Amino acid sequence: MIIIMKPSSGEAQISSVTSYIRQHGLEVHLSTGKEVTIIGVVGNKNLINPEHLESMKDVERIVPVTESYKLANKKFHPEPSTVKVGNTFIGPGTMTIMAGPCAVENEEQMMLIAREVKKAGATFLRGGAYKPRTSPYSFQGLEEEGLKYMQNAQKETGLATICEVVSNEAIEAAAKYVDMIQIGARNMQNFILLKEAGRSGMPVLLKRGLSATIEEWLNAAEYIIAEGNPNVVLCERGIRTFETATRNTLDISCVPVLKEKTHLPVIVDPSHSTGSYKYVPSMAKAGVAAGADGLMIEVHNDPACALSDGPQSLTFKNFALLMDELTPFCQLVGRTL
């Protein structure tokens, strides 16, 4: 449930309500807005008397929360969240661009790509050091060595860095080298990994599972937030449908749906969703128009020779062109690149 306090309520009244809740063994989550304070209650609500709460001074009303996800729920946190990563922010008013190769291949490559995407206007360098692949014989990533290459690129360019993690050991390694960790689609419901990501305290990009509903996705985010880590960003990367013309089907409608249901930032991955560089620009623009807070785009210096996902990667020239084309779209929705 959530308790909505009257606009005139002071610290003493808010403290009185929160103390009552904690005394009964429930958790309290405060959301202080410009005009109103909302007190989120997490736990067994049968342990407290709602009539007593309603009678307390300056309590305006009590609203039940029927969704299973609470902390990710917009009812608990009406204002959209902003997630700080390194020296950059993901959230309202900005358009975060995460760009880089699917897989880190060598240090020279990462330095080259980092310089080029920075020049074109990207704010993040993405790269995969741990690659959970469909085939066990495909390139699996450079692991910690790849993370070191990303750190070196970050030091030279100042770009924030993000890398996927697949285990607690990978989280511990990533924490030493990158600014943000990513939970991939295949691990969206790896609940042990989600808890570890929450305990790490690092900003987390949570990709949607291949066949996950929006509610399942938000409950996965809840696992991370429930461990005390509110710095979660959601990433739509396409879902599995009957269609074969593209690699996956980009559910662009999920962006406005999520904006209605959660306060968490949302970004769109047009590369993994389409599987073809030809469709990336159109879907990137659609993501911006739909209200996304950012984009994740695969960029490679030589897509034809990429060790992973070359067909969906943009060349430097095409990425720079896309960034120029995105500018008026961002201006129309009140965001800055």
* 55 and 133 part of one domain: no
Answer yes or no: do 16 and 123 share one domain.
no
- Domain of 158, CATH number, reads 3.20.20.70
For residues 25 and 134, state if they share a domain.
no
Q: What is the pLDDT of residue 133?
A: 59
Is 223 in the same domain as 302? yes
Handedness of CA 332, 297, 156, 304 (dihedral sign): negative
Does 88 share its domain with 150?
yes
Cα(329)–Cα(314) distance, rounded to whole angstroms? 19
For residues 92 and 147, membership in a common domain is answered with yes
Same domain (yes/no): 52, 192: no
Amino acid identity for residue 208 in this structure: R
Phi and psi at residue 303, in whole multiples of 5°?
-55, -35
Do residues 215 and 265 both lie within one domain? yes
Residues 6 or more apart from 129 whose CB is under 8 A from it?
A: 103, 104, 141, 142, 143, 144, 145, 146, 147, 150, 163, 164, 174
Amino acid identity of residue 100, one-letter, is G
Judgement on whether residues 14 and 142 belong to the same structural domain of the protein: no
Counted domains in the chain: 2
Structure confidence at residue 131 (pLDDT) = 66
139-149 pLDDT, tens per residue? 567 889 999 99
Note down pLDDT in tens along the chain; length 337 residues.
899 999 888 889 999 999 999 999 998 988 887 778 999 898 888 889 888 898 998 999 998 888 999 999 999 898 999 999 999 999 999 999 999 999 999 999 999 999 999 999 999 999 999 866 566 766 567 889 999 999 999 999 999 999 999 999 999 999 999 999 999 999 999 999 999 999 999 999 999 999 999 999 999 999 999 999 999 999 999 999 999 999 999 999 999 999 999 999 999 999 999 999 999 999 999 999 999 999 999 999 999 999 989 999 999 999 999 999 999 999 999 999 8
Packing angle between helix 254-261 and helix 214-225, nearest 10 degrees? 50
206 and 259 in a single domain? The answer is yes
Report how far residue 173's alpha carbon sits from residue 188's, in angstroms, rounded to the nearest whole number: 20
Buried b (16+ CB within 10 A) or exposed e, 40-65: bbbbeeeebeeeebeeeebbeebeeb
Give yes or no for a contact between 217 and 188, defined as CB atoms under 8 angstroms apart. Answer: yes
Tell me what pLDDT residue 164 has. Answer: 95
- Residue 214 pLDDT: 98
Do residues 307 and 276 both lie within one domain?
A: yes
- Enter the pTM of the model: 0.92
Q: What's the CATH number where 37 sits?
A: 3.30.70.1140
Q: Is residue 149 part of a domain?
A: yes
CA dihedral sign, ordered 307, 180, 78, 55: positive
User: In this predicted structure, what is the pLDDT of residue 162?
Assistant: 98
pLDDT at 82: 97
pLDDT of residue 19: 94
Q: What is the 3-state secondary structure (H, E, C) of the chain?
A: CEEEECCCCCHHHHHHHHHHHHHCCCEEEEEECCCCEEEEEECCHHHCCHHHHHHCCCEEEEECCCCCCCCCECCCCCCCCCEEECCEEECCCECEEEEECCCCCCHHHHHHHHHHHHHHCCCEEECCCCCCCCCCCCCCCCCHHHHHHHHHHHHHHCCEEEEECCCHHHHHHHCCCCCEEEECHHHCCCHHHHHHHHHHCCCEEEECCCCCCHHHHHHHHHHHHCCCCCCEEEEECCECCCCCCCCCECCCCHHHHHHHHECCCEEECHHHHHCCHHHHHHHHHHHHHHCCCEEEEEECCCHHHCCCCHHHCECHHHHHHHHHHHHHHHHHCCCEC
Name the residue range of residue 255's domain: 83-332
